[in-house]
Amino acid sequence: MGGRAERIAFWGSGAIVALVIAIGLVSPLIGYDPAAAVDYEQKLLGPGAGHWLGTDAQGRDVAMRLMKGTEAFFLPGLMAAGIATMAGALLGAIAGYAEGWGRTLVVGFLQLVDTLPRLIFIILVCTILNPSITLIAGVAGVLFIPSIATVIRRKVEALGSEDYILAHVAHGFSTTRILLYHILWLQARPLLIRQATYVFGYVLFVETALSYLGDYGVQEPTPSWGNMVAQTRELGGASAWPWVFPAVAIAVTIAAFLAFGNLLARRDEEAIR
Amino acid sequence: MSELLLEARGLVKRFRSQSLLRGSHETRALDGVDLQIRVGEVLAVIGESGSGKTTLGKVLLRLTPATAGEIRFGGNDLRALRGKALRLKRREFQMVFQNQRANLHPKMTVRQMLDESLRLHRPKLDAEGRAEHIGGLLERVGLSAKAEQRPESLSGGERRRVGLARILATQPKLIVADEPTSGLDAAIKLQIIDLLRRLKESSMTYMLISHDLGLVRRIADRVVVMLKGRIIEEIPAERLGDPRHHPYTARLMRAAHLSEDHASQGPSVIEVGVGGEQRHGGCVYAADCPVARERGLLTRCRQERPEPVALGPGHWVACFASADPIEEEP
Ligand SMILES: Nc1ncnc2c1ncn2[C@@H]1O[C@H](COP(=O)(O)OP(=O)(O)OP(=O)(O)O)[C@@H](O)[C@H]1O
Ligand code: SF4
Ligand SMILES: [Mg+2]
């Protein structure tokens, strides 16, 4: 399987994902002082030689802020994806394989968290604690644990009654190895890839939504794609240059991550089938 | 006689199934089984489909919990073992599953599987030692060319041989081989038989579950016959065909004989249907037994459970009519 269109989509989305990751990795190495960047004489310029993507209302270079803005979601997104997939996989495996009170406890926790509406809960946390984006991402990661755990649990339950898994028990492998390697790594990897990229995209979305909704997330003058777009509120219709590039970046990045996660998972499924 | 490897007493395994229409229904897959396996012997378990052969193998190796009974393996009470102790013990006995897909992880190559087994069972071997060993194992089962393939691209016979190679890697004390030749064409069957034979020569102990009497005759030392969860006869393999067989075994042998005549290629496969509900009190064959009717034993056969009656060295049958030999029909 995997026609030409799918191949193009895979490499296209993969290139965007790679670019975002590269920028996210390099950006912290480049010094940037948002206060020093203010230059009202250069404000609201369109794209041009000095400023490739133009400038914002305070005359700051949009390209630079776009790059530095990746820091707002890059590590938090990775962290959230890590928390959600690792804890989700582990708890899902326990819920699907273990018996007795361990399972009851885990299932209870998952059901409890699962009742929380994600975005509303995050906004609630923000209004009460006004936390850093790192903490918000952590909360987002935790909120994704149940859905990932459920998918993994179903997989584990289905495989747990398969004869070949019984054969692995019979062969003398430990439960830990069967769960972590034979089931999670060999059979549920595509599922986890898909979920991880989804959670990463979600953190970017949340950061944007929070910046747009109110004074949460990453605050001016530190740049984030979300607070760059939020400038539309102050600008009115004066100029589109400050926000159009971050808006496009957000949409393209989220789409690319979701698509790449899916396509990568599909490839993985085919490769290891 | 050599020393006991495994001894089971009074094994019972009940399956309960819930059905909306019929309510709760109980199957006695094992209904009081006593069994001994000695070091170095090949014990064959024969009997028709559903008689409990696979269940017996799984229960003996603790792959399914027994409902009741006792299992001793090399002096240990197997049913009492838990957790790590059980896991370590598992390395001493291995099962080749009836469903050949079942032995193999669908997403691992043959080499990966063997390597993994060696890592587990021979932790002292380094990577080089393992690679060498894998080469040897693959050669032994004739799969040297298939090392990098996954189960889906292997034939049924090849899968079985991978399963066997994997088990050989663990050097178990006991192998339970469940229908190792069923569903294979004649040529591949012969390869497997040959392999099983060589295993026997290397004095491996195994329990061979099969309804292939040809295979049983060629390989087994001792045969037990199962019917509806009970062992109804035990006999040395070379005495198969004895006129004093249990009435059910006699019928099996006749059926096998017939099918041998009809399909003269290859070994015979037995399959005779036995009807009737399971009766827990009497003989499991009572509903179909011609001998019981002939001799007017039916009432007793329906009510009392026949105990084993010794007929010769290593030969007994559980049948009330066994005192007098049963004449073979022409
Ligand atoms: N997991 C299970 N749940 C319910 N009933 C079962 C289960 N496994 C086996 N049984 C029943 O137990 C009985 C014995 O089954 P078993 O698989 O041991 O037979 P067998 O002698 O191996 O047959 P075959 O020659 O077809 O492999 C059958 O009636 C079967 O339906
Ligand atoms: S005990 Fe009775 S029913 Fe059972 S095999 Fe013997 S004669 Fe037949
Ligand atoms: Mg069976």
Nearest residue of chain B to residue A164 (CA atoms): B102
User: Of ligand 2's atoms, which has the minimum distance to the CA of residue B284?
Assistant: 4
Taking CB atoms and an 8 Å limit, are B102 and A272 in contact across chains? Answer: no
pLDDT of residue A240: 77
- Distance (angstroms) between ligand 1 centre and the Cα of A183 equals 26
Give A169's contacts in chain B (Cβ within 8 Å). 63, 90
Predicted confidence (pLDDT) per residue in B195-227, tens digit: 888 877 777 898 999 888 888 988 899 999 999
Alpha-carbon distance A248 to A250, whole Å? Answer: 5
Indicate the domain borders of chain A.
Answer: 3-30+38-74+195-272, 76-188
Whether the CB of B90 is below 8 Å from some CB of chain A: the reply is: yes
Beta bridge partners of B74: none
Residue closest via CA to ligand 1's atom 14 equals: B52
- Whether the model clears a pTM of 0.80, i.e. scores above it, the answer is no
Whether the CB of A100 is below 8 Å from some CB of chain B: the reply is: no
* Secondary structure, 3-state, chain A: CCCHHHHHHHHHHHHHHHHHHHHHHHHHHCCCCCCCCCCHHHCCCCCCCCCCCCECCCCCEHHHHHHHHHHHCHHHHHHHHHHHHHHHHHHHHHHHHCCCHHHHHHHHHHHHHHCCCHHHHHHHHHHHHCCCHHHHHHHHHHHHHHHHHHHHHHHHHHHHCCHHHHHHHHHCCCHHHHHHHHHHHHHCHHHHHHHHHHHHHHHHHHHHHHHHHCCCCCCCCCCCHHHHHCCHHHHCCCCCHHHHHHHHHHHHHHHHHHHHHHHHHHHHHHHHC
Whether the CB of B103 is below 8 Å from some CB of chain A: the reply is: yes
Q: Does B263 have pLDDT greater than 50? A: no
Give, for all 273 residues of chain A, the pLDDT tens digit. Answer: 568 888 999 999 999 999 999 999 999 898 888 777 777 787 777 777 777 778 887 778 888 899 999 998 999 999 999 999 999 999 999 898 887 788 888 888 888 888 888 888 888 888 888 788 888 899 999 999 999 999 999 999 888 778 888 888 888 898 899 999 999 999 899 999 999 999 999 999 998 888 887 778 788 788 889 888 888 777 777 777 888 899 999 999 999 999 999 999 888 877 654
Give A174's contacts in chain B (Cβ within 8 Å). 87
Alpha-carbon distance A169 to B222, whole Å? Answer: 29
Instruction: Give the residue from B64, B73, B107 with the most A CB atoms within 10 Å of its CB, the best one to mutate.
Output: B107
pLDDT of residue A253: 94
Taking CB atoms and an 8 Å limit, are A163 and B101 in contact across chains? Answer: yes
Q: B71-102: b or e for each residue (b if 16 or more CB lie within 10 Å)?
A: bbbbeeebbebeeeebbebbbbbbbbbbebbb
